């Protein structure tokens, strides 16, 4: 780990809090509330050939639930403005994984020895990957 090891913990905590805020705002269902008992509506809807679920949410009258890309886009600004400043300069972007079928937030540090941070609000998963790895592999 680089000099900003505390940043990794702060960012992962911020990802969790941002995801919890999306749940509180009705943008995602609580984990375990999906029709098959796992994450969000991901257990069913992520298997459909659509990247976004917002229109499906309207059709099925499940409110303003966002798909994986929309949730990731909402998390990025919350990570860019942390309550406690990061030790290093971090940039966050929405990236596709799993053959471009799913979207997550990826964070990179200005410290070259820091890992890549992955934040998946749709599946409520947060992990790190070493630099130079194929992001999206899924260490939790």
Angle, CA of 65, 118 and 63, to the nearest 5°: 0
Does an H or E element contain 45, and which?
helix 42-45
Residue ranges per structural domain of the chain:
5-129
As a whole number of angstroms, the distance between CA 100 and CA 106 comes to 14
pLDDT tens for 72-111 read: 999 999 999 988 889 999 999 999 999 988 999 999 998 8
| Enclosing H/E stretch for 109 | strand 102-109
Its pTM stands at 0.74
Tens digits of per-residue pLDDT, 102-131? 999 999 998 888 899 999 998 889 999 976
**Does residue 121 contact residue 28 with C-beta atoms inside 8 Å?**
yes
């Amino acid at each position: 780990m680089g000099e900003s090891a505390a940043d990794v913990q702060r960012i992962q905590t911020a990802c969790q809090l941002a995801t919890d805020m999306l749940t509180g705002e009705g943008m995602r269902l609580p984990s375990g509330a999906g029709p098959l008992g796992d994450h969000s509506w991901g257990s069913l809807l992520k298997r459909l050939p659509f990247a976004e679920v917002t229109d499906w949410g309207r059709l099925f009258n499940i409110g303003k639930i966002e798909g994986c890309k929309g949730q990731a886009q909402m998390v990025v600004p919350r990570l860019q403005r942390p309550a406690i400043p990061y030790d290093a300069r971090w940039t966050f972007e929405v990236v596709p994984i799993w053959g471009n079928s799913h979207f997550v937030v990826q964070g990179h540090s200005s410290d070259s020895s820091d890992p890549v941070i992955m934040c998946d609000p749709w599946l409520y998963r947060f992990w790190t990957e070493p630099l130079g790895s194929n992001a999206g592999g899924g260490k939790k």
